[in-house]
Amino acid sequence: MAHLGTVEPDRFGRLRYSVRAEGEAALRAAGELRAVREARGAADLAGYLRGAFAGAGSVTRPGGAGGHHLEFVHPDEEFVRRVARFSRAPLSVTRRRGRWVAYTKSADGVTTLLSQMGLHDAVLEYEARAVLGEAKANANRITNFDAANAGRTARAAARQQAALRRLDPEGLPPALREMLELRLEHPDAPLAELARLGGISRSAANHRLRRLTALGERAARREDPC
Domain-terminating residue out of 62, 93, 121: 121
- Given a cut of 70, whether residue 220 has pLDDT beyond it is yes
Task: Please tell me which residue, 90 or 130, carries the higher pLDDT value.
Answer: 90
219 and 144 inside one domain: yes
**Position 58, amino acid:** S
144 and 208 inside one domain: yes
- Given a cut of 60, whether residue 121 has pLDDT beyond it is yes
- Write a three-state SS string for 78-105: HHHHHHHHHCCCCCEEEEECCEEEEEEC
> pTM for this one?
0.43
What does the pLDDT look like over 131-190, one tens digit per residue? 665 656 566 677 666 666 666 766 776 777 777 888 888 888 888 889 888 888 888 888
User: What's the average model confidence in pLDDT over 87-104?
Assistant: 93
| Residue 78 C-alpha from the chain's centroid | 32
Q: Is residue 87 in some structural domain?
A: yes
What does the pLDDT look like over 6-61, one tens digit per residue? 667 766 666 666 666 565 555 454 444 454 444 455 678 888 999 999 889 998 87
Q: Is residue 177 in some structural domain?
A: yes
157 and 105 inside one domain: no
143 and 117 inside one domain: no
Q: Which domain holds residue 87?
A: 47-121
Q: Please enumerate in sequence order all residues whose Cβ is within 8 A of that of 164, keeping only pairs 6 or more positions apart, or say none.
A: 180, 183, 184, 212, 213, 216
Q: What is the structure's pLDDT at 104? A: 92
Q: Domain containing 77 — which CATH number? A: 3.10.28.10
